[in-house]
Structure 1
Amino acid sequence: MESLAFHSDSLGDTEEFLNSNYTRMRIGTSTGVAVRTDITRKMLGPVSLDDLDLSFDMKYDAQPLGKICLCEVDSGSIEENYADGTTDFFQPGELGLLTPPDLPYSGVVHHARYRITMFDPALLTRVAAASPEHDLEPVRLTGHRPVSAVAAKHLSDVLGHMRGVAADPVASEAPLIASTAVQYLAATVLHTLPSTAHLDPTAGDRNDAHPDTVRRAVAYLEAHVCEDISVADIAAASYVSARALQLAFRRHLDTTPMAYLRRLRLRGAHEQLRDFSPDDGHTVTSIAAAWGFAHPGRFATAYRGAYGRPPHTTLSA
């Protein structure tokens, strides 16, 4: 798990750090005001999770960030000036897209403590995956606020979950947990912020949602169960769009492709619990994490529902 920490009372050092770890920018503050900057970062796969505390009003003028940057304000406020000439204020308890990834931005951080979550915009396209071809039109976010209060609450909960996983040394080092969490984050962003993604099935998708699609998808899932795969990968292997794939699984198996993959991974964890021994250093938590299950309690509940016994009894048998 990569991490970094920066603490400084120098405006010049703060600017140098921001240029090195975010994008090129110029910053400034009122003369005579004490500067104190505290920034920490944890990584979960390709997603950076930053906590920032600026004890001064920092003006900034920055080049495009090149990443989706979600911002949650705990105290103070952030005044963001957008390229179209509009200005918005992020107040305590609010969250949204701080800046479009491909446009310059400016504003003022008003003595704020806040969190930002950043990732490559290509993740949105990978999750949306309107067709199996790889030369898709990139998905773009078309607004910087969640579409509703319920959507904002859901996005905030998912961001909190991401931070919880990143803080867990076992879960954060498990590749399948990181990949699953990242896909879940990208899917949540698509459903909570306005975007160009088209998530409803078309007439062509409905025609493609036949049993052969499910058969090809299941074969691919079984062959790649231990790998970092997304709905887009499964759809490409099945020669249909992601929407057709989702519809086929709902229609013929009454589930989703990722839920089916989770079931296969639960079976893999069961087989290891059955075959491994705690005498060799194996634990329920380590085996669950290796198969992409970040939360031991939820894993135990899912395992008990599938196999009728707690996982630790299987490992100890």
Structure 2
Amino acid sequence: MASSVWSMSPPCQRNDPYCRWTPSRGARIVLLVEQVVEVTDLDAAHEIFSAAYSRLRIDGGNDRSLSWLSSRRFGRVRFDRMGGRIRFEATGEPLRNYVFGHLHSGKIRHSSDGDERYLLPGDAFLTALPDRPFGAAIDDPEVSMIVLGQEVVDEVADDVRFEGFRAVSPVAAAVWQSTCAHVRDEVLPVFEQHPLVVANATRLVVAMTLATFPNNANDERVPDRRDAHPLTVRRAIAFIEDNAADDITAADVAHAARVSIRAIQLAFRRHLDTTPMAYLRLVRLSCAHNDLRAANGSVTAIAARWGYARPSVFAAHYRAAYGVSPSKTLWSG
């Protein structure tokens, strides 16, 4: 095997859940902050892809194989890019995660549950449901992917069930890919030390994914499991105001209010004409206002502290709420 590995990650330990070892070849595959792996034979590609996704059985292939895999992990979302001159067919065990992708070039055929999907450049796709085996045939692909665990999806919506493997439209696919690339390349590398920015960016990716691929999250036919009454809202507001500085989710708010996510969203719409996350943003904006008045850092630092990756967005929201720019409040404070 001829291969090269460039790792920008911390040293890998054998018990690290995001590190995979291949003792037969002595190769190390790290899936933490960022890594690029390039391999020049099919056996090595088999080991890399099996470690990154699920155990594979590969058939076919050719002598001119050259493939690479780039992986970045931010929080609980992994951003992968894969490509090369490589052709093979594979069957895989269940992925245990959601793996969504956008094909830039080449061809991919996926199959699961008896359904075959032929993908061409520009297509966005869900590889397979996490608990189902799958098959794939790839032909000189270049593809971007995101890997999401069920627990991350559950923070945004209750009992999500994806009901299709393709994007709802080409426009939705393009917007989703652009959003994921922006978060991966521009937001998270700059703000990875700001937990609220990372959390908001993660949930943006999940929300865009839910908007792009068919699922039951917005099915109004599903009844709320509990009554959305004013007491629910009061519990939620108290929790939000006490924990605005922390990374809290709609699921956390719902748990504190003792109802489902769907019920808490309905309660806020019914009684406050807003959503729990929009109310949280208003509370954080108020906290940022207090920091500006106390001159507790620069405008950019305060914006990032309270979850804003883009100072321009922070400034627009602040001006809409307080009628002046953040810098004017800082200077006058």
Equivalent residue letter for 1:218:
I
How far apart are the structure 2 equivalents of 1:48 and 1:14? Answer: 19
Larger mean CA deviation between 194-203 and 91-100 belongs to 194-203
Listed as ranges, the gaps of 5+ residues in structure 2 are 1-31
Equivalent residue letter for 2:299:
V
Partner of 1:247: 266
How far apart are the structure 2 equivalents of 1:79 and 1:165? Answer: 31
How far apart are the structure 2 equivalents of 1:165 and 1:255? Answer: 29
- How many percent identity over aligned positions? 35
Q: Which has the higher helix share?
A: 1
Contact 1:37 1:52 in 2 (8 A): yes
DSSP-derived class of the 2:156 partner: helix
The alpha carbon displacement at 1:215 in A equals 1.7
Equivalent residue letter for 1:158:
T
What is the total number of aligned residue pairs between the two structures?
301
DSSP-derived class of the 1:106 partner: strand
Partner of 1:75: 105
The alpha carbon displacement at 1:28 in A equals 4.9
Determine whether 1:18 maps to 2:53: no
The alpha carbon displacement at 1:55 in A equals 1.6
How far apart are the structure 2 equivalents of 1:160 and 1:4? Answer: 17
Equivalent residue letter for 1:185:
V
* TM-score for the superposition, normalised by structure 1: 0.85
How far apart are the structure 2 equivalents of 1:267 and 1:127? Answer: 24
The alpha carbon displacement at 1:110 in A equals 0.9
Greater RCO structure (CA 8 Å; 6+ sep): 1
Q: Structure 1 residue aligned with 2:166, among 140, 145, 159?
A: 145
Partner of 1:307: 322
CA displacement, residues 82-135 of structure 1 (integer Å, 9 cap, x when unaligned): 2x2221111111102012211222221110111010110232333223xxxxxx
Q: For 1:202-281, list aligned pairs within 5 A.
A: 208-276=227-295
Equivalent residue letter for 2:140:
H
Partner of 2:154: 125
How far apart are the structure 2 equivalents of 1:299 and 1:220? Answer: 23
Equivalent residue letter for 2:284:
R
Partner of 2:220: 200
Contact 2:157 2:261 in 1 (8 A): yes
Change (3 A) 1:103 1:306: same
Equivalent residue letter for 1:290:
R
Change (3 A) 1:41 1:202: closer
Contact 1:54 1:111 in 2 (8 A): yes
How far apart are the structure 2 equivalents of 1:142 and 1:108? Answer: 22
Listed as ranges, the gaps of 5+ residues in structure 1 are 130-137
Contact 2:123 2:166 in 1 (8 A): no
DSSP-derived class of the 2:80 partner: strand
CA displacement, residues 197-235 of structure 1 (integer Å, 9 cap, x when unaligned): 464277767x83333222221111001111222212212
